[in-house]
């Protein structure tokens, strides 16, 4: 079997790692792979966003399955293009991907479907947005409607902070086209959970829930990032909570998408929050999360490949929950100094030879090989995932391993999973 992975980051490295375990005899290809993926696959020198070139390459190289990692190619219609060429591809159509590429579409869909979420309004006019903030007060959340690399959500603790965020998005166009329309929604207080579901458009297989940490600083302080770490399982995500998420969130959303003429086939990611009023949806994504994928897939016992092939080939899934191994996984991101602001690249990376094992996996994100050296090539550089019988052991092992990785300006959070630690200590 010949499998193409579209994407270059930590999520794609984790997908490659898992699919190689599911199909050791398969031949793997990846678009512009990072330094960790490169030895595990045949590089394809085509950018993930170059849909036309990729579809032609996949057809000429007889690719049996293409797995799309990032949201941007999905939002641009890569699945539609591949399917027109008769190629088997895992991911939602361009129309279905609007559940992530347009927060306005997503919130309106939730309202139609009766999916619990925060009260909201949408604006493209600065003065109207400011008036709504004055009416609702703070704390309040401002979201760029379009794709903003995980950084288009600003939690504002005061009205002045909200006005600044609106000025940046609607006035200064800091996020470009992504911020020309914004969603303003009430702040929800509670603990967040990430829930992935592989779906054929009607039926869903729910993967083990996880929790990620967006803020750059310990204690969840500082700017939002693409994610500084994650862990699974989450003790508050009980079987009852997973069932509630499936019945009240996943299934109604799939029905609403199908009714809109855009059935969702692929990986639906529900970011939910457990509040005093029950589960509510913060956002949907149309692909695997990063860095949650780096803990969910190492814990997964079920074959991901078989689920993906069934969906990509138009088959029907048996609804349920994917089996997970016992124990826990914790992943700590090692980032470049200055991230999520400006940072330098090209720093030589040193990973001790004895660091990686069956219970410690280093997933690469912003790395590349150059002249025999592994160097930094992004803000989030590596995700260090540790597996252990308990959460506490996994958390300690992940942080200790992350601390052993060296490059100029390297830093990481030392408190990934701190809420879980408080519950267990």
3-state secondary structure string, the chain? CEEEEECCCHHHHHHHHHHHHHCCCCEEEEECCCCCCHHHCEEECCCCCCHHHHHHHHHHCCCCEEEECCHHHHHHCHHHHHHHCCCCEECCCCCCCHHHHCHHHHHHHHHHHCCCECCEEEECCHHHHHHHHHHHCCCEEEEECCCCCCCCEEEECCHHHHHHHHHHHHHCCCCHHHHCCEEEEECCCCEEEEEEEEECCCCEEECCCEEECCEEECCCEEEECCCCEEEECCCCCCHHHHHHHHHHHHHHHHHHHHHCCCCCCEEEEEEEEEECCEEEEEEEECCCCCCCHHHHHHHECCCHHHHHHHHHCCCCCCCEECCECCCEEEEEEEECCCCCCCCCCCCECECCCCCCECCEEEEECCEEEECCEEEECCCEEEEEEEEECCHHHHHHHHHHHHHHCECCCCECCCCCCHHHHHHHC
Q: Is residue 101 part of a domain?
A: no
CB 386 within 8 A of CB 360: yes
User: Is 107 within the bounds of a domain?
Assistant: no
Answer yes or no: is 371 within a domain. yes
- Cα separation, 415 vs 399, in Å, equals 8
pLDDT at 178 over 90: no
Q: Which of 321, 351, 369 is the last residue of a domain?
A: 321
Cα distance between the two ends of the chain: 46
Domain endpoint, select from 141, 156, 180? 180
The predicted structure's pLDDT at residue 385? 98
Co-location of 208 and 306 in the same domain: yes
> Phi then psi for 361, rounded to 5 degrees?
-115, 130
Residues 204 and 291 in one domain: yes
Task: Assess whether pLDDT exceeds 80 at residue 164.
Answer: yes
pLDDT, average across residues 86-97: 98
Query: For the chain, how many structural domains are there in total?
Result: 4
What CATH number is associated with residue 294? 3.30.470.20
**pLDDT of the residue at 171:** 86
Residue 348 in any domain: the answer is: yes
Same domain for 306 and 225, yes or no, is yes
Which domain-ending residue is among 267, 286, 321? 321
Q: Which residues contact 358 (CB under 8 A, 6 or more apart)?
A: 387
What is the spatial distance between Cα 373 and Cα 168, in angstroms, rounded to a whole number? 39
| Same-domain check for residues 202 and 281 | yes
Q: State how far the Cα of 299 lies from the Cα of 218, in Å rounded to an integer.
A: 25
User: Is residue 283 over pLDDT 80?
Assistant: yes
Q: Kindly indicate the confidence band of residue 6, based on its pLDDT and cuts at 50, 70 and 90.
A: very high
Statement to judge: residues 199 and 294 lie in one domain: yes
- Output the pLDDT for position 277: 87
Residues of the chain with pLDDT > 70, as a percent, come to 99
What are the residues whose beta carbons fall under 8 Å from the beta carbon of 45, sequence distance 6 or more?
32
**165 and 236 share a domain?**
no
99 in any annotated domain: no
Q: Is residue 27 part of a domain?
A: yes
> What phi, psi does 145 have (nearest 5°)?
-70, -35
What is the band of 152 on the pLDDT scale with cuts at 50, 70, 90? confident
Say what the pLDDT of residue 408 is.
97
* 87 and 147, same domain (yes or no): no
The β-bridge partners of 232 are 329
Res 150 pLDDT > 90: no
Per-chain mean pLDDT for the chain = 95
| Same-domain status, 341 and 302 | no
372-379 mean pLDDT = 97
163, 284: one domain: no
Indicate the pLDDT class of residue 77, thresholds 50, 70 and 90: very high
Query: Please, are residues 331 and 359 in contact by the beta-carbon 8 Å criterion?
Result: no
In this structure, is residue 120 part of a structural domain? Answer: no
pLDDT at 276: 87
User: What does the pLDDT read at residue 347?
Assistant: 98
Mark whether 173 and 213 lie in a shared domain. no
Distance CA 264, CA 253 (A): 9
Q: Are residues 60 and 84 in the same domain?
A: yes
If asked whether residues 199 and 313 sit together in one domain, one would say: yes
Domain of 176: which CATH number?
Answer: 3.30.1490.20
Residue 296 has a pLDDT of 98
Q: With contact defined as beta carbons under 8 Å apart, do 425 and 392 qualify?
A: yes
What pLDDT is attached to residue 148? 77
Residue at 303 is within a domain: yes
Full domain range(s) for residue 224: 191-321
- List of residues 6+ apart from 124 with CB closer than 8 A: 170, 180, 181, 182
For position 174, what pLDDT does the model report? Answer: 80
Residues in contact with 348: Cβ distance below 8 Å, sequence separation at least 6, in sequence order: 373, 374, 375, 407, 408
Is 179 or 111 the better-scoring residue by pLDDT? 111
Per the model's pLDDT, the better-predicted residue between 145 and 20 turns out to be 20
Return phi, psi of residue 155, to 5°: -90, 115
What is the reported pTM? 0.95
């Amino acid at each position: 079997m010949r499998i193409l992975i579209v994407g270059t980051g930590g999520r794609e490295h984790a997908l490659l790692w898992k699919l190689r375990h599911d199909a050791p005899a398969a031949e793997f290809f990846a678009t512009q792979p990072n330094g960790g993926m490169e030895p595990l696959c045949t590089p394809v020198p085509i950018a993930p966003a170059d849909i036309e070139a990729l579809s032609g390459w996949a057809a000429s190289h007889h690719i049996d399955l293409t797995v799309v990692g990032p949201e941007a190619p999905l939002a641009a219609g890569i699945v539609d293009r591949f399917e027109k060429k008769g190629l088997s591809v895992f991911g939602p159509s361009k129309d279905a991907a609007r559940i992530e590429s347009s927060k306005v579409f997503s919130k309106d869909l939730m309202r139609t479907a009766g999916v619990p979420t925060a009260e909201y309004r949408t604006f493209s006019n600065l003065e109207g947005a400011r008036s709504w903030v004055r009416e609702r007060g703070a704390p309040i959340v401002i979201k760029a409607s379009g794709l903003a690399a995980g950084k288009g959500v600003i939690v504002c603790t005061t009205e002045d902070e909200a006005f600044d965020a609106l000025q940046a998005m609607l006035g200064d166009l800091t996020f470009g086209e992504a911020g020309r329309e914004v969603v303003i929604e009430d702040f929800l207080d509670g603990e967040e959970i990430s829930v992935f579901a592989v779906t054929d458009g009607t039926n869903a297989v729910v993967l083990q829930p996880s929790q990620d940490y967006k803020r750059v600083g310990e204690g969840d302080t500082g700017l939002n990032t693409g994610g500084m770490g994650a862990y699974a399982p989450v003790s508050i995500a009980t079987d009852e909570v997973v069932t509630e998420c499936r019945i009240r969130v996943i299934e109604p959303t799939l029905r609403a998408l199908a009714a809109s003429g855009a059935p969702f086939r692929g990986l639906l990611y529900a970011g939910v929050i457990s509040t005093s009023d029950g589960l509510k949806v913060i956002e949907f994504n149309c692909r695997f999360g990063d860095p949650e994928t780096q803990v969910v897939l190492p814990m997964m016992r079920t074959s991901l490949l078989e689920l993906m092939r069934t969906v990509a080939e138009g088959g029907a899934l048996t609804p349920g929950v994917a089996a997970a191994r016992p124990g826990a996984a914790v992943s700590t991101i090692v980032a470049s100094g200055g991230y999520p602001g400006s940072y330098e690249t090209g720093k030589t990376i040193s990973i001790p030879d004895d660091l990686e094992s069956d219970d410690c996996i280093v997933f690469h994100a912003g790395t590349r090989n150059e002249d025999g050296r592994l160097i930094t090539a992004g803000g989030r550089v590596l995700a260090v995932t540790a597996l252990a019988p308990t959460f506490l052991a996994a958390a300690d092992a992940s942080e200790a391993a992350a601390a052993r990785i060296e490059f100029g300006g390297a830093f990481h959070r030392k408190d990934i999973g701190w809420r879980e630690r408080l519950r267990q200590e």
